[in-house]
């Protein structure tokens, strides 16, 4: 039976991926909110043949990461990893102070990477493992109002490429899915509030929002989940180091 790790599993995206994973799979789910993690755990164990292990994980705390890594490396290793990090704050600031940069890289790159490093050092990533990093459009193209994302997402993309090369001898695939707009519960609520504030119908607002997207829509959570599951399966048997866009055609580059 395969073992799959999902970080930030209590996020809307993470919880839906957790629910979509085959019931014959052993799941190791992590999250910062212990109440949400407990509720997700209870919902996953119903009608499931594989076991579910949950562990609190605060990516902003090295102690929390180390405790989670100790538990995660005590089993039979992982055959799949869905790696989600906390949402990077949006900002158009091009030159943050040095201390601000250090804090951002610590929280959104160095500390989360600590977990992966410990998994690799403890040989908890099995041969043939499929690793999928969840990223955003700024990993592929610079976005004006997401200057912090532009830099941090690029760092993760470089890390994924480097891992793909170094782990390939064990037939471990490392790929990235970069998302455009996704109609998560929180984003849908945000759009409803925006429509109300602008005295527009939700339908009219969304028509305007997606007018620059060839497919004329944002992705559904199911769209994203299906893409992740595909990369966790045979699709990536001969694929590694790729950054796959799921943006409805927004990015026009070759």
More confident residue, 252 or 61: 61
What is the model's pLDDT at position 162?
98
What is the model's pLDDT at position 254?
85
Q: Where are the beta strands (DSSP E) in the chain?
A: 3-6, 26-31, 52-56, 78-83, 125-136, 173-179, 243-246
- Put simply, whether the predicted model's pTM sits higher than 0.85 gets the answer yes
**Contact assessment for residue 3 and residue 75, using Cβ atoms and an 8 Å cutoff:** yes
147: Cα separation from own chain's centroid: 19
Q: pLDDT tens digits, residue range 164-197?
A: 999 999 999 999 999 999 999 999 999 999 999 9
What's the mean pLDDT in 57-68? 98
Q: pLDDT tens digits, residue range 66-80?
A: 999 999 999 999 999
Integer Cα distance of 164 and 87 in angstroms: 24
Which residues does 184 contact at the CB level (< 8 Å), separation at least 6? 12, 13, 221
């Amino acid at each position: 039976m395969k073992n799959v790790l999902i970080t930030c599993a209590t996020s809307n995206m993470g919880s839906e991926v957790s629910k979509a994973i085959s019931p014959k799979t052993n799941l190791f789910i992590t999250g910062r909110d212990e109440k949400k993690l407990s509720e997700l755990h209870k919902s996953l164990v119903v009608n499931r043949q594989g076991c579910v292990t949950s562990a609190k994980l605060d990516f902003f705390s090295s102690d929390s990461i180390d405790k989670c890594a100790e538990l995660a490396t005590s089993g039979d290793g992982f055959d799949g990893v869905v790696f989600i990090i906390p949402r990077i704050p949006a900002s158009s600031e091009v030159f943050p102070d040095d201390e601000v940069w250090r804090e951002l890289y610590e929280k959104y790159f160095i500390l989360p990477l600590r977990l992966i490093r410990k998994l690799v050092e403890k040989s908890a990533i099995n041969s043939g493992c499929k690793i999928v990093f969840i990223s955003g459009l700024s990993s592929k193209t610079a976005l004006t109002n997401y200057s912090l994302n532009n830099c941090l997402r690029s760092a993760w993309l470089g890390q994924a490429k480097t891992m793909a090369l170094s782990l390939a001898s064990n037939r471990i695939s490392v790929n990235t899915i970069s998302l455009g707009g996704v109609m998560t519960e929180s984003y849908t609520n945000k759009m409803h509030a925006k429509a109300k504030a602008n005295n527009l119908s939700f339908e009219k607002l969304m028509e305007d929002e997606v007018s620059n997207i060839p497919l004329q829509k944002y992705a559904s959570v199911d769209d994203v989940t299906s893409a992740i599951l595909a990369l966790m399966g045979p699709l990536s048997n001969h694929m590694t180091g790729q950054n796959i866009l799921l943006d409805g055609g927004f990015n026009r580059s070759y």
